[in-house]
């Protein structure tokens, strides 16, 4: 199974690069992923025209299965209402064989800070219990990301949520927000941050990029980072989840 992990497209941002968006579309046609997961900030300000552009782009991505969660930028200017209008739910769920993916909205209207909320914990537990392979998707990072400056915006209840997903033996967490790709492994959970896929709003020499994740039957996982400009590949992780 091949999963493409995109994040922080930021339609409507002056730093959005059309060439990078075109490159991503072209690469999706080549890879033909089983699932495309987008971890938020598909728009820059949550405006209707931003959502319209983002929806057109996402509809053009080459995959029948897509799972999208909102980011803090998407929730601005009542954009969370438009997110539900365009993408149905802020808490998407997808099941494929023995794999279950649960998306969580970690955004708050007009705030950059992340927050999941205790009322969501039972939903996550109910959806994931009993599945051999579990993936959680959200926008905000649960653990600090290096080389991103002063730490901020980690969900206020990150500790409690980390405890929950550890108890559930979640295999993989996908997130974005910081525009810097990174990964951590904590309590057996592989946590993968995606960078920004289509903007020049990056750090130092970090390039715009996206992740390609391949999961095999024996729960072997292979993760590569691809530059959105040159498609240069970098191995991120090769192991078992």
Query: Is the per-residue pLDDT at 240 higher than 90?
Result: no
Backbone angles phi, psi at 152, to 5 degrees: -160, 165
- pLDDT confidence band for 219 (50 / 70 / 90): confident
Residue 91 is predicted with a pLDDT of 98
Q: Say what angle helices 121-128 and 158-167 make with each other, to 10 degrees.
A: 20
- Decide if pLDDT at 217 tops 80: no
Q: Buried b vs exposed e over 176-209: b needs ≥16 C-beta within 10 Å?
A: bbbbbbbbbeeeebbbbbbbbbbbebbeeeebbb
Mean pLDDT of the 15-27 span: 97
- Percent of the chain past pLDDT 70, that is, above it, reads 100
Q: Is the pLDDT of residue 241 over 90?
A: no
DSSP string covering 13-48, please?
-TTB-HHHHHHHHHHHHHH--SEEEEES--BSS--H
pLDDT at 67: 98
Nearest to 214 by CA among 238, 189, 190, 233: 238
Give the pLDDT confidence score for residue 169 in this predicted structure: 97
Residue 221 has what pLDDT?
95
* Residue 215 β-bridge partners: 221
Domain boundaries in the chain? 2-240
The per-residue pLDDT for 200 is 96
Instruction: Please give the radius of gyration of the chain, using alpha carbons only, rounded to the nearest integer.
Output: 16
What confidence score (pLDDT) does residue 167 get? 97
CA–CA separation, 106 and 122 (whole Å): 15
- Segment 43-91, tens digit of pLDDT: 999 999 999 999 999 999 989 999 999 999 999 999 999 999 999 999 9
User: What is the CATH topology of the domain spanning 2-240?
Assistant: Purple Acid Phosphatase; chain A, domain 2 (3.60.21)
Question: Which residues partner with 41 through β-bridges?
Answer: none
The pLDDT value given to residue 105: 98
Partner residues linked to 102 by β-bridges: 93, 136
């Amino acid at each position: 199974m091949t999963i493409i992990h995109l994040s922080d497209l930021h339609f409507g941002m002056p730093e959005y690069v059309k060439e990078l968006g075109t490159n991503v579309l072209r690469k999706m046609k080549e890879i033909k992923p089983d699932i495309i997961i987008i971890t938020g900030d598909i728009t820059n300000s949550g405006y209707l025209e931003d959502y319209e552009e983002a929806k057109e782009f996402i509809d053009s991505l080459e995959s029948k299965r897509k799972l999208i969660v909102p980011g803090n930028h998407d929730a601005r200017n009542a954009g969370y209402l438009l997110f539900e209008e365009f993408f149905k739910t802020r808490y998407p769920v997808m099941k494929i064989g023995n794999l279950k993916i649960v998306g969580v909205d970690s955004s708050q209207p007009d705030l950059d800070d992340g927050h999941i909320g205790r009322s969501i914990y039972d939903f996550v537990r109910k959806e994931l219990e009993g599945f051999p392979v579990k993936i959680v998707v959200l926008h905000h990072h649960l653990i600090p990301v290096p080389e991103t400056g002063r730490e901020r915006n980690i969900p206020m209840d990150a500790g409690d949520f980390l405890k929950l997903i550890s108890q559930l033996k979640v295999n993989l967490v996908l997130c974005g927000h910081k525009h810097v790709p990174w990964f951590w492994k904590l309590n057996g959970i592989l946590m993968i941050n995606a960078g920004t896929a289509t903007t020049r709003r990056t750090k130092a020499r970090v390039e715009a990029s996206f992740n390609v994740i391949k999961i095999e039957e024996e729960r072997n996982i292979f993760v590569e980072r691809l530059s959105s400009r040159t498609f240069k590949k970098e191995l991120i992780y090769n192991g078992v989840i």
